[in-house]
Chains A and B, each alone.
Chain A
Amino acid sequence: MMRAWLSRMRFLVRQTLSRRKLRSEMDDELEFHLEQAIAANVAAGMTAEEARRQALIAFGGLEGTREQCHEQRPGWWMCTVAQDVRYALRGFRRNAAFTITVIATLALGIGATTAVFSVVDRILFRSLPYAHGDRLVSIGLVQSLEKQEFMLGGFYFDWRDNQKPFEAVAAQGTMLHACDLVEANPAQLNCIQAQSGFLPLLGISPVLGRNFLPEEDQPNSPRVALISYGLWQDHFNRDAGILSRQIDVDGSPTRVIGVLPKGFELPTLQAPDVMLPMALNEGLERKANPGTPMRAFARLRPGVSIEQARAEMGPLFVQTRDALIPPPLRKDFHLSIRSLRDRETQDVQLTAWILLAAVLAVLLIACANVASLMMARGEARERELAVRSALGASRGRLIRQTLTEAVLLSLAGATAGIALAEGLLRVFLAMAPTGIPFLSKASLDLRIVLFTVILSLVCGALFGLLPALQTPRAVALAAHAAKSRRRAMLRQSLVVGQIAISMVLLSGAALLLRSFANMEQQSLGIETQRVLTARIALPGFRYNTAQKRMQFYLQSEAALRRLPGIRAVSFSDSVPPGGWHDARRYSELAVAGKPRPEQGIGGSVISRGVTPDYFQALNIPIIRGRNFSEADRNGTEPLVVLSRLLAARLFPGEDPIGKRMQTGHDGPWSTIVGVAENARNGGLTEQDVPEVYILRRSVVQDWGERAQVGEGISGAAPVMIVDAALPPAAVAPWVRSQVAGIDPTVPVKIETLTEQVNKLADRPRFETALLGFFAFCGVLMAVIGLYGVIAFVAAQRTQEIGVRMALGATRVDILRLIAGEGVRLIVLGGVLGLGAALAAARLLKSLLFNVGTYDPGTYGLVVVLLTLVALAATLIPARAAMQVEPVEALRYE
């Protein structure tokens, strides 16, 4: 009896509880409580039904208790996150156009910013890979022919002993030079000389072994060397016993005393394979004029600024200069102290800043777009939020839901953005000019990925939250015209900002594009089609006399001439229009029978030692006199040809042919035989420089050592210029095989002249393409934003449009009404943007070629283009509004 009663009661309770199939311990616990209560009530004399009713009343809401218990669990909110995520995803799927636009916008913003920042980070922000990198400076002299600081032996020792602003001073050789590793497995390497104080100055210590001792950095001390990590790894297979080994560098046995750290680069951004002591003879250097050239670096004392150092070094500089440099040249030498970062990256800093500014502008536009889209969506969902809030969703819960959506969108955008950044970075690397330092080492920077993701999250969340924050008590179900107007204002100002920023981007890109087109279309004055250049790096160790070198070159010239289809073969020490070339001061030139020009004025003159075929190979016409002849090569008389520019300067109104001149202070007197037409020789964008062509005769002294500073590697390497009737691809292998026929071990680097010219245009092409891409993205997003706002306004005013039409407004009136809204935004944004663009254009000044910073044509074009695109974006929704049927519009809502 008792048993039956109990089971009956259990049934009663279970009926109440098991509405959910899920039986949990909590249910058991609550069941027990109710059983006890019911039992107590029954004992108090109630009927079974009544007992259960009273027990439930006393207990309160059963389901509520269950939920509350559930919510006590730590991490309970995680479940609601899953719920929010599911809900958000459903919403996204329903509204695919919105979702895709937001994600694409975010991806573009995040991707572009990350990629560009990864490139410019090392140039502009990241600290140098040396200890106290911020206090390292490059110190030395500059003059009209060398704008990078250099140091001379005498100056170095004088300054080292008498300077005050620096903690330490040390120098390296001026440049890497080719050297030979002679052993069973020979290799051509890059060597550099450095002083024993050089690595400690940079705060670099070898990973293995030790640095040079001061006594090893003396003349006639036993030869020692540090080798690079790469050489140790690849050539010596990480041999731990390397330190006890002798290697043979350029025929001299050398003891390896250390291994440089992985990835070590000189402050001149070159990576040497072997570092040898400079071993300067101090006594000799102090007396020598000009002394050994080198690159010197120093560490400022803490608290000393570069300006202070410059001021303190000024008097010392004047004193040393007056002691060591002959009076006529003094005026041309200046002191220069620059931070190491500037020394490394000064000429790309402007580009880097411009790219960074451009990409931040794109990010700004993207954020505005996301904000605007999120606001529109929030507004469209006010009703939904109101309903949910009426059904009991707390405000916190609604905010969390909105945040979940923003986070999801940001994460999706970030994922796509990182993929895009990776792709963009590859494109940058593929098209980037070689002159941008660190680019090849650029990799995606996680910090900046994080930064952009957070920024976009803030954009999305902030504006997405706006409606959720403003929906406390089902407000949205009531009229809210004022608030919505205020928010519409906000969106409109966002669009105005977007148009203004894209205007700035677009005009910058247009200016660069015009400048680039001008550069490409200019006449260079030389033939570049079907012209090959071959650089043959003769190992200085085996070709150690000018005689051997000359022999090799003349032999290869003769061999190439025998080939079919070769029209001209010439040797020159350099090739126009850009790159390295030998130069001297205008004031060094002297004409027989005329006073020498005043010292220190007139700029510089390019000099090129060429064989007679040079003018034919590059198709530079001789406009007066004659070209050098083959017979002249074997003559004894030094001959020169002047460029038209130089002839006009040296011999105004006279005939230069047959006159004699000196091409340097102590150069031989040469006879002028001809005048050649000007050819571009100062790079693609600089003015032409006067030029003197010196005949390279077949005598030993004309094939002597000549520094190839621009290539970073020295050596006696004239460039062979080959003009062929056949395509370069066919000729190149012949050239190689002919050279190999003479000496199979020398490396030959063949390039077409077109390639070299293209390479000169790499930097502007890079800048133009990038800025153009950013401008395109910016305009695209701004237009999407504009379209969104106008479409939204049109949708909101559907009812109003219906009323107006019913009252007799024509469709054109409606079009004007809606489009007018867009036009207002376009005009406002355009005017603001034009002002900003004109102000920003000054930054681009140094990058522009033959285009004014305020070029009216360019700005006109940009204004027209942007207006047209923006108008199109306005007209589409406006037309849709125009086609609204009045009856339908009035039924709307």
Chain B
Amino acid sequence: MHGWGVAQRIQQVSKEVLQIGQGSLYPALHRLEYKGWIRSDWGSSDNNRRAKFYELTVAGRKQLETELATWERLSAAIKLVLGQEAQA
């Protein structure tokens, strides 16, 4: 998926809640690539334009899982704290 697609997708999936700064998307993508979590290839887009496509690597997928797990724990904890405070 190319950068533009990623930006569009985030917007769609989050139902326009997350308006990602398009400018800050690319540094993030590049950082992930340097870390080896995603890799890129030049291909042609739907309208036959040369575009850079990104995909997750194996390491990236693993990283994603750990990040997700961390996030789950964190958000669950926050939920707990907030829930208890709401009760109190």
Within the assembled complex, what's the spacing in Å between the Cα atoms of A255 and B34? 71
Does A17 reach chain B (CB closer than 8 Å)? no
Contact A74 B34 (CB under 8 A): yes
Of the listed stretches B16-24, B62-70, B76-84, name the one at the interface; the rest are far from the partner chain: B16-24
**Chain A residue contacts of B3, Cβ below 8 A:** 29, 32-33
Contact B34 A32 (CB under 8 A): no
Does B71 reach chain A (CB closer than 8 Å)? no
Within the assembled complex, what's the spacing in Å between the Cα atoms of A25 and B53? 12
> Which of B4, B23, B27, B42 interacts with A36 by CB under 8 Å?
B4
Contact B4 A68 (CB under 8 A): no
Name the CB-closest residue of B to A67: B27
**Chain A residue contacts of B2, Cβ below 8 A:** 29, 32-33
> Which of B4, B21, B24, B30 interacts with A32 by CB under 8 Å?
B4
Binary interface profile of B, 21-37, with partner A (CB < 8 Å = 1, else 0)? 11110110011001000
Does A241 reach chain B (CB closer than 8 Å)? no
Does B15 reach chain A (CB closer than 8 Å)? no
Within the assembled complex, what's the spacing in Å between the Cα atoms of A39 and B52? 18
Binary interface profile of A, 569-604, with partner B (CB < 8 Å = 1, else 0)? 000000000000000000000000000000000000
Contact B27 A72 (CB under 8 A): yes
Name the CB-closest residue of B to A10: B49
Given the known inter-chain contacts A36-B4, A59-B22, A60-B23, please indicate yes or no for A25 contacting B30, CB distance below 8 A.
no
Does A35 reach chain B (CB closer than 8 Å)? yes
**Chain B residue contacts of A65, Cβ below 8 A:** 23-24, 26-27
Which residues of chain A from 9 to 56 have a CB within 8 Å of any chain B CB? 25-26, 28-30, 32-33, 35-37, 39
**Chain A residue contacts of B49, Cβ below 8 A:** 32, 35
Within the assembled complex, what's the spacing in Å between the Cα atoms of A59 and B22? 5
Does A325 reach chain B (CB closer than 8 Å)? no
Within the assembled complex, what's the spacing in Å between the Cα atoms of A58 and B45? 21
Name the CB-closest residue of A to B21: A60
Which residues of chain B from 1 to 15 have a CB within 8 Å of any chain A CB? 2-4, 7
Given the known inter-chain contacts A28-B52, A32-B51, please indicate yes or no for A69 contacting B27, CB distance below 8 A.
yes
Within the assembled complex, what's the spacing in Å between the Cα atoms of A33 and B30? 15
Within the assembled complex, what's the spacing in Å between the Cα atoms of A60 and B23? 5
Query: Could you tell me the distance in whole angstroms from the C-beta of A72 to the nearest C-beta in chain B?
Result: 4
Given the known inter-chain contacts A32-B51, A32-B52, A60-B21, please indicate yes or no for A37 contacting B4, CB distance below 8 A.
yes
**Chain B residue contacts of A30, Cβ below 8 A:** 26
**Chain A residue contacts of B7, Cβ below 8 A:** 33
Contact B22 A69 (CB under 8 A): no
Query: Could you tell me the distance in whole angstroms from the C-beta of B24 to the nearest C-beta in chain A?
Result: 7
Query: Could you tell me the distance in whole angstroms from the C-beta of A67 to the nearest C-beta in chain B?
Result: 9
Contact B22 A60 (CB under 8 A): yes
Query: Could you tell me the distance in whole angstroms from the C-beta of A25 to the nearest C-beta in chain B?
Result: 7
Query: Could you tell me the distance in whole angstroms from the C-beta of B42 to the nearest C-beta in chain A?
Result: 8
Binary interface profile of A, 353-370, with partner B (CB < 8 Å = 1, else 0)? 000000000000000000
Which residues of chain B from 36 to 59 have a CB within 8 Å of any chain A CB? 42, 45, 47, 49-52
Contact B22 A58 (CB under 8 A): yes
Name the CB-closest residue of A to B50: A28
Does A64 reach chain B (CB closer than 8 Å)? yes
Contact B31 A72 (CB under 8 A): yes
Contact A64 B23 (CB under 8 A): yes
Query: Could you tell me the distance in whole angstroms from the C-beta of A17 to the nearest C-beta in chain B?
Result: 13
Within the assembled complex, what's the spacing in Å between the Cα atoms of A59 and B31? 18
> Which of A26, A28, A33, A73 interacts with B34 by CB under 8 Å?
A73
**Chain B residue contacts of A711, Cβ below 8 A:** none
Query: Could you tell me the distance in whole angstroms from the C-beta of B66 to the nearest C-beta in chain A?
Result: 21
> Which of B23, B27, B30, B52 interacts with A59 by CB under 8 Å?
B23
Does A71 reach chain B (CB closer than 8 Å)? yes
Within the assembled complex, what's the spacing in Å between the Cα atoms of A73 and B35? 10
Contact A69 B4 (CB under 8 A): no
Query: Could you tell me the distance in whole angstroms from the C-beta of B29 to the nearest C-beta in chain A?
Result: 8
Query: Could you tell me the distance in whole angstroms from the C-beta of B28 to the nearest C-beta in chain A?
Result: 8
Query: Could you tell me the distance in whole angstroms from the C-beta of B64 to the nearest C-beta in chain A?
Result: 19
**Chain A residue contacts of B30, Cβ below 8 A:** 69, 72-73
> Which of A39, A58, A60, A74 interacts with B24 by CB under 8 Å?
A60
Contact A68 B24 (CB under 8 A): yes
Within the assembled complex, what's the spacing in Å between the Cα atoms of A363 and B31? 46
Within the assembled complex, what's the spacing in Å between the Cα atoms of A28 and B47? 15
**Chain B residue contacts of A69, Cβ below 8 A:** 26-27, 30
**Chain B residue contacts of A62, Cβ below 8 A:** 23
- Which of A25, A33, A39, A68 is most buried by chain B, counting CB atoms within 10 A of its CB? A33
> Which of B21, B34, B47, B52 interacts with A29 by CB under 8 Å?
B52
Does A303 reach chain B (CB closer than 8 Å)? no
- Which of A61, A62, A68, A74 is most buried by chain B, counting CB atoms within 10 A of its CB? A68
Name the CB-closest residue of A to B28: A72
Contact B27 A71 (CB under 8 A): yes
Within the assembled complex, what's the spacing in Å between the Cα atoms of A68 and B50? 23
**Chain A residue contacts of B31, Cβ below 8 A:** 72
**Chain A residue contacts of B23, Cβ below 8 A:** 59-62, 64-65
> Which of A25, A33, A73 interacts with B4 by CB under 8 Å?
A33
Within the assembled complex, what's the spacing in Å between the Cα atoms of A141 and B23? 88
**Chain A residue contacts of B50, Cβ below 8 A:** 28, 32
- Which of B3, B27, B45 is most buried by chain A, counting CB atoms within 10 A of its CB? B27
Within the assembled complex, what's the spacing in Å between the Cα atoms of A181 and B47? 97
10 residue pairs of the A-B complex, CB under 8 angstroms, read A29-B26, A29-B51, A30-B26, A32-B51, A32-B52, A33-B2, A68-B26, A69-B26, A69-B30, A74-B34
8 further A-B contacts with Cβ under 8 Å, apart from A35-B49, A59-B22, are A29-B2, A32-B52, A60-B24, A61-B23, A65-B26, A69-B26, A72-B27, A72-B30
Interface residues of A (CB under 8 A from B): 25-26, 28-30, 32-33, 35-37, 39, 58-62, 64-65, 68-69, 71-74
For the complex of A and B, list the 5 residue pairs with the smallest distance between their C-beta atoms, beginning with the closest: A60-B23, A68-B27, A36-B4, A65-B23, A72-B30
